[in-house]
């Protein structure tokens, strides 16, 4: 099944490097003793709440100190979340965490806009992704299928809502405070 998110007869676009776009996105030390994997949808208000309210403290206390490696996993819940995830994966890998932060901070404006793709294009441009590259990104069936595969893998692992966090193989669904994360993480760090 072909998924084309940007229709039209545009001239040939630069090819998306799908392998790079679909490579794991993570922050923190690869040698951290604990890995936290978040399954999220960029249109999920609960995910935005986590990223805007709890994530900065989690990053400061655990990720920046080398205790936790944080892995981002796409779990798009709707037809707007999918192109948002694709766009984020097409920007330079080093900019990915910042783009995710911007998407969550501005979720109320782009996700509910009359033209969400147009709004995503503006964010992509600010992240250094030109118009042609953005269009090519959203036209990539291989990239769309890769993002959807991430969701399928999450579902197979037991994820059925967002945000969901996997900590050393155990799933914690929903938004959690930094104190609740500490209750889970601190015993694993002793």
- pLDDT at 172 > cutoff 70: yes
- How big is the chain, counted in residues? 190
Provide the H-helix boundaries in the chain. Answer: 18-21, 45-49, 55-58, 81-90, 96-105, 107-110, 116-126, 131-139, 141-156, 178-188
Residue 3 has pLDDT above 50, yes or no: no
C-beta neighbour count of 178 within 10 angstroms: 17
User: 169 falls in which pLDDT band (50, 70, 90)?
Assistant: confident
Of 189, 182, 188, the C-alpha closest to 60 is 182
Tens digits of residue pLDDT in 39-75: 999 999 999 999 999 999 999 999 999 999 999 999 9
97-152 tens-digit pLDDT: 999 999 999 999 999 999 999 999 999 999 999 999 999 999 999 999 999 999 99
Cis peptide before 79, with omega less than 30 degrees from 0? Answer: no
User: How large is the angle between the packed helices 81-90 and 96-105, nearest 10 degrees?
Assistant: 150
Helix axes 116-126, 131-139, angle to 10 degrees: 130
Pick the CATH number of 32-188 from 3.10.25.10, 3.40.30.10, 3.40.50.2300, 3.30.450.20: 3.40.30.10
130 φ/ψ angles, rounded to the nearest 5 degrees: -65, 165
- Integer Cα distance of 43 and 128 in angstroms: 22
Mean predicted lDDT score pLDDT of the chain: 92
Residue 6: what pLDDT?
A: 46
Dihedral of CA atoms 89, 151, 43, 174 in degrees, nearest 10, equals -120
User: Where are the chain's structural domains?
Assistant: 32-188
pLDDT at 14: 56
> pTM, whole model, 2 decimals?
0.90
Output the six-digit token pair for 52: 């805007």
């Amino acid at each position: 099944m072909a998924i084309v998110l940007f229709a039209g007869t545009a001239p040939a676009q630069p090819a998306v490097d799908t392998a790079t776009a679909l490579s794991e996105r993570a922050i923190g030390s690869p040698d951290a003793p604990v890995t936290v994997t978040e399954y999220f949808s960029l249109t999920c208000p609960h995910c935005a709440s986590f990223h805007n309210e709890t994530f900065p403290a989690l990053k400061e206390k655990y990720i920046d100190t080398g205790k936790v490696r944080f892995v981002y996993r796409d779990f798009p819940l709707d037809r707007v979340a999918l192109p948002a995830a694709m766009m984020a994966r097409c920007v330079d890998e080093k900019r990915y965490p910042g783009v995710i932060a911007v998407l969550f901070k501005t979720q109320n404006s782009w996700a509910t806009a009359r033209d969400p793709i147009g709004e995503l294009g503006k964010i992509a441009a600010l992240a250094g992704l030109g118009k042609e590259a953005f269009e090519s990104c959203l036209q990539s069936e291989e990239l769309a299928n890769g993002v959807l595969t991430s969701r399928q893998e999450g579902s197979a692992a037991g994820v059925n809502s967002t945000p969901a966090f996997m900590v050393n193989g155990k799933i914690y669904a929903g938004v959690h405070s930094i104190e609740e994360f500490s209750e889970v993480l601190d015993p694993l760090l002793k």
